[in-house]
């Protein structure tokens, strides 16, 4: 997870001409609709009011004027209707001008979700290209050095192969995470995975046991505080992947000698999984962004241990799919606690 907002290789956001053109076309469409409605209503209002006023004037003129239209009546009525027509025209012009401005703003509001979706997609691809390019550049550089040197001894060849395998592992993990996001549709409606009763406590204990060796290799103590069985409705592979990602994230950002605690508990009608670490923590301004795709901080990006920045995005997506919630509490330099809340059975 990021520890400060990343500055290297910022995401590229493209604001393309088609959206400006679409906004203009949509504005014209709204304006044409408003103009048509105003014209029809104004014409109907003028005709109705003219007939109504003419009838009133005839009745006022007396019985002897019924069926007739004297010059003075025609003249007075004509002046009134002319004044009425001008007033309606002025009101229509003001309405249409105001409607044009409102149409422009409404067109922008209508297109905003589309532009945001496109920009998010372009940002996603730009970040993916950047993160895939880095390990490829490392592998290419090492291979070029090996070719220039002509021959390698066994130890040098072993180190070169080990380094290349590590970069391949990083790229493979990133591709797998991207596929997970694509399958779950992170920017769409949560998918409906198969649901069955799952013991969250047992799943947390099993996943923690799998990660214990990795934590030990990095000099980190992994402790568990597992409560009695906590049943939830869920998809076991998705839940296991989410717990794995939270633990992997904690291991990556906890220094040697630190501690990670995995605990499960029941809180009212919820089953809760907490993963608390004594790692480097998250800056307050970064905390709202840790589930964004490819979000990582300067220190995380600057190190070799950082992942692709997709792990917590997948966790958040999994929680949405399970109608659960994701919570993070952290203080820089003091550690982080990630809590996953599920509806309990």
Q: For residue 212, what are its two tokens?
A: 């214990």
Least confident of 26-35, 95-104, 155-164, 283-292: 155-164
pLDDT in tens, 37-52: 888 888 888 888 777 7
Average pLDDT, the chain: 77
Interacting residues of 85 by C-beta distance below 8 A, sequence separation 6+: 46
Tally of CA atoms within 13 A in the half-sphere of 183 that contains its CB: 11
As a whole-number percent, the residues of the chain with pLDDT over 70 amount to 72
All structural domains of the chain with their residue ranges: 17-119, 125-184, 196-343
Q: How sure is the predictor about 306, in pLDDT bands with cuts at 50, 70 and 90?
A: low
Instruction: Answer yes or no: are the C-beta atoms of 313 and 186 closer than 8 Å.
Output: yes
Q: 125-184 has which CATH code?
A: 1.10.287
Distance from C-alpha of 36 to C-alpha of 28, rounded to nearest angstrom: 12
Place of tokens 């003129």: 61
Residue 265 has pLDDT above 90, yes or no: yes
Strands 270-277 and 335-343: antiparallel
Tell me the whole-structure pTM to 2 decimals.
0.55
Q: For residue 7, what are its two tokens?
A: 């500055």
In degrees rounded to 5, what are phi and psi of residue 231? -90, 135
Helix axes 71-149, 17-61, angle to 10 degrees: 170
> Closest Cα partner for 204 from 320, 328, 2, 342?
342
- Ranges of H-type helices in the chain: 17-61, 71-149, 154-184, 200-217, 236-252, 298-302, 311-321
Instruction: Answer yes or no: are the C-beta atoms of 77 and 111 closer than 8 Å.
Output: no
Give residue 235's pLDDT: 87
pLDDT in tens, 7-62: 344 444 444 567 788 888 888 888 888 888 888 888 888 888 777 776 766 666 55
Q: How sure is the predictor about 190, in pLDDT bands with cuts at 50, 70 and 90?
A: very low
Give residue 269's pLDDT: 92
What number is the average pLDDT over the span 224-231?
A: 90
Residue 6 has pLDDT above 50, yes or no: no
What number is the average pLDDT over the span 166-189?
A: 65
Interacting residues of 187 by C-beta distance below 8 A, sequence separation 6+: 117, 120, 121
Instruction: Answer yes or no: are the C-beta atoms of 275 and 250 closer than 8 Å.
Output: yes
> What's the DSSP call for residue 288?
G
DSSP string, 188-218: SSPP----EEEEHHHHHHHHHHHHHHHHHHT
Sign of the Cα torsion 132, 137, 138, 142 reads: positive
Sign of the Cα torsion 40, 41, 47, 50 reads: negative
By CB atoms closer than 10 A (0-12, 13-18, 19+), residue 44 is: exposed
Q: How sure is the predictor about 278, in pLDDT bands with cuts at 50, 70 and 90?
A: very high
Four-way CATH pick for 196-343: 3.30.565.10, 2.70.70.10, 3.30.365.10, 3.30.70.20 = 3.30.565.10
Least confident of 71-85, 155-169, 201-215: 71-85
Give residue 291's pLDDT: 84
As a whole-number percent, the residues of the chain with pLDDT over 90 amount to 21
Q: Among 130-139, 165-174, 287-296, 325-334, which range has the highest average pLDDT?
A: 325-334
DSSP string, 128-165: HHHHHHHHHHHHHHHHHHHHHH----HHHHHHHHHHHH
């Amino acid at each position: 997870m990021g520890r400060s907002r990343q500055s290297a290789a910022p995401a590229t956001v493209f604001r393309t001409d088609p959206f400006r053109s679409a906004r203009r076309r949509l504005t014209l469409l709204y304006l044409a609709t408003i103009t048509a409605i105003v014209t029809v209503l104004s014409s109907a209002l003028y005709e109705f009011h003219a007939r109504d006023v003419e009838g009133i004037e005839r009745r006022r003129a007396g019985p002897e004027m019924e069926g007739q239209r004297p010059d003075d009546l025609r003249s007075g009525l004509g002046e009134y209707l002319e004044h009425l027509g001008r007033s309606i025209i002025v009101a229509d012009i003001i309405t249409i001008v105001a409607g044009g401005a409102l149409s422009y703003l409404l067109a922008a509001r209508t297109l905003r979700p589309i532009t945001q979706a496109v920009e998010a997609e372009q940002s996603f691809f730009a970040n993916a290209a950047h993160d895939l390019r880095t390990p490829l550049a490392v592998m290419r550089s090492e291979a070029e050095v090996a070719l220039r040197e002509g021959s390698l001894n066994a130890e040098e060849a072993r180190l070169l192969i080990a380094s290349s395998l590590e970069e391949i592992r990083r790229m493979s993990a990133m591709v797998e995470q991207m596929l997970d996001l694509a399958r779950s549709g992170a920017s769409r409606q949560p998918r409906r995975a198969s649901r069955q009763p799952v013991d969250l406590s047992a799943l947390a204990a099993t996943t923690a046991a799998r990660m214990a060796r990795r934590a030990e290799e990095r000099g980190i103590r992994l402790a568990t505080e597992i409560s009695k069985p906590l049943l939830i409705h869920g998809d076991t592979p998705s839940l296991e992947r989410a717990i794995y990602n939270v633990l992997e994230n904690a291991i990556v950002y906890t220094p040697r000698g630190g501690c990670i605690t995995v605990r499960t508990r029941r809180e009212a009608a919820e089953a809760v999984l907490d993963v608390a670490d004594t790692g480097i923590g998250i800056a307050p301004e970064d905390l709202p962004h840790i589930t964004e795709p490819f979000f990582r901080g300067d220190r995380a990006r600057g190190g070799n241990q950082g992942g692709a920045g997709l792990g917590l995005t997948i966790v958040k997506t999994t929680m949405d799919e399970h109608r659960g919630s994701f919570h993070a509490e952290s203080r820089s330099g003091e550690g982080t606690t990630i809590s996953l809340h599920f509806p309990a059975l």
